[in-house]
Amino acid sequence: MPLAFTPKDWESRAKEMGLPAFRGRQIFDAIHRRGVTSFEAMTELSRADRRRFQDLFPMALPEVVRREASADGSVKYALRLSDDALIEAVFMPRGEALASAESEFADARAEGPGGRSAAIRPPRTPPGERATLCLSSQTGCAVDCRFCVTGRLGAGRNLSGGEIVGQYLAVRREHPDTSLSLVFMGMGEPMLNFENVAQALKVFTKTISPRRITVSTAGFPDGIRRLGELEKVPNLAVSINAADERTREEIMPVTRAHPLAEVLAAMKAFPLPPRRRITAEYVLIDGVNDSVEDAKKLGRLLRGLPVKINVIPLNPDPRYLPEFQPPSETAIDAFVEELARQKYTVTVRRSRGPDSYAGCGQLKGRAADSRRR
């Protein structure tokens, strides 16, 4: 799929067509720096060459079929792939909050109790601002975490490398002046589509620093190892979600195949550049894993690992997740305080309004619904 071609790939295609290699690099730059996906518009090529490339390498971006904007400025996009499968991607302004732990913690505290309904609304992202884009890697997820809507809806197929890159280009087109950080925290488990995610990363890291890209996994040790072996290693996030094996088995059945100890060992072995840390994600669920005792255990579990902890209050869904409720504000505060007391850097990814999506972790795709329509 041409959208997943690297500069080298385009260079060899150009050479095969009897053109100098720099023509290939020009095509890569047109697509990935200027967002041009039609050869017709690449006027740096001759008319005849434009036509030849167009015939050989037709490129189509996923189609944006729905946009849901929320008051905090985030936008959830539904994108239709060529086989009609739907995926979701979420644009989140002020994305640096995800990357910079301290600011998010300060932010969460400043909102105080009842932060969810805080009246202060950040303005729309002005031009030149940074944002984070949450990307999907599959059209569903077979991992079956009990608290995850994507998981409840069941397995999907892998996105191709070109579809992953196309997803980014399609959303970037809607926010041309925003510089995007990327997180693989949308639909699917990136490590179960490793080759295509790695191919997309090769392309992304030509124009985006790997420091601004994060791959999130439910905890596949082999995938974590392979990610660490890439030429350009992105940030790693691991969904820990429970402080002991038994609770984790209940909410993340994948724990039976890949016990926590193995996941933690893979995290320990992950090659981290200086001053970078792994994000340990923890979805906080009322009465399941949100006690101060759980926070104490979590602190002990992660002791010695180079992590920052991202606490994500459950995003409820009465239809798909009727048995799970979000934690109380008091429980969130007590949980965070205990981890802070243990000297962890903690961030809380809060919903900032009733129509907010709390970033990712609530993505449905809904391919089936759309076919019915």
Catalytically active residues are 88, 360
Residues in 146-205 that interact with ligand SF4 by CB under 6 A:
148, 150-151, 188-189
CB of 290 vs ligand SAH, minimal distance in Å: 12
- Out of ligand SF4, ligand SAH, none, what residue 312 binds, judged by CB under 5 to 8 A for its kind, is ligand SAH
CB of 241 vs ligand SAH, minimal distance in Å: 6
Backbone angles phi, psi at 76, to 5 degrees: -100, 125
Q: Which of residues 107 and 189 has its CB atom nearest to ligand SAH in the complex?
A: 189
Q: Which of residues 193 and 199 has its CB atom nearest to ligand SF4 in the complex?
A: 193
Binding mask 227-266 for ligand SF4 (x = CB under 6 A): ------------x---------------------------
Among 42, 133, 218, 331, binds ligand SF4 (CB under 6 A): 218
Binding mask 104-143 for ligand SF4 (x = CB under 6 A): -------------------------------------x-x
Residue with tokens 């932010």: 107
CB of 178 vs ligand SAH, minimal distance in Å: 22
> Nearest 10 degrees: CA dihedral of 111, 280, 227, 86?
-60
Report how far residue 102's alpha carbon sits from residue 345's, in angstroms, rounded to the nearest whole number. Answer: 7
Q: Which of residues 189 and 338 has its CB atom nearest to ligand SF4 in the complex?
A: 189
Q: Which of residues 235 and 362 has its CB atom nearest to ligand SAH in the complex?
A: 362
Which positions touch ligand SAH (CB under 6 A)? 147-148, 185, 189, 216-218, 239, 241, 281, 283, 312, 314-315, 360-362
Q: Which of residues 188 and 210 has its CB atom nearest to ligand SF4 in the complex?
A: 188
β-pair type (213-217, 235-239): parallel
β-pair type (86-93, 75-80): antiparallel
Instruction: Look at residues 146, 153, 318 and name the one whose alpha carbon lies nearest to residue 239.
Output: 146
Report how far residue 83's alpha carbon sits from residue 58's, in angstroms, rounded to the nearest whole number. Answer: 16
Residue nearest to ligand SAH (CB): 361
Among 145, 264, 288, 332, binds ligand SF4 (CB under 6 A): 145
Partner residues linked to 235 by β-bridges: 214
CB of 215 vs ligand SF4, minimal distance in Å: 12
> For residue 14, how many C-alpha atoms fall within 13 Å in the half-sphere facing its CB?
20
Q: Which of residues 163 and 189 has its CB atom nearest to ligand SF4 in the complex?
A: 189
- Out of ligand SF4, ligand SAH, none, what residue 315 binds, judged by CB under 5 to 8 A for its kind, is ligand SAH
Q: Which of residues 7 and 316 has its CB atom nearest to ligand SAH in the complex?
A: 316
CB of 165 vs ligand SAH, minimal distance in Å: 18
CB of 259 vs ligand SAH, minimal distance in Å: 16
CB of 185 vs ligand SF4, minimal distance in Å: 8
Instruction: Give the sheet arrangement for strand 307-313, strand by strand.
Output: 63-69, 75-80, 86-93, 130-134, 179-184, 213-217, 235-239, 278-284, 307-313, 346-348
Task: State which amino acid sits at residue 273.
Answer: P
- Out of ligand SAH, ligand SF4, none, what residue 241 binds, judged by CB under 5 to 8 A for its kind, is ligand SAH
- For binding to ligand SF4 (CB under 6 A), which residues are involved? 141, 143-145, 148, 150-151, 188-189, 218, 239
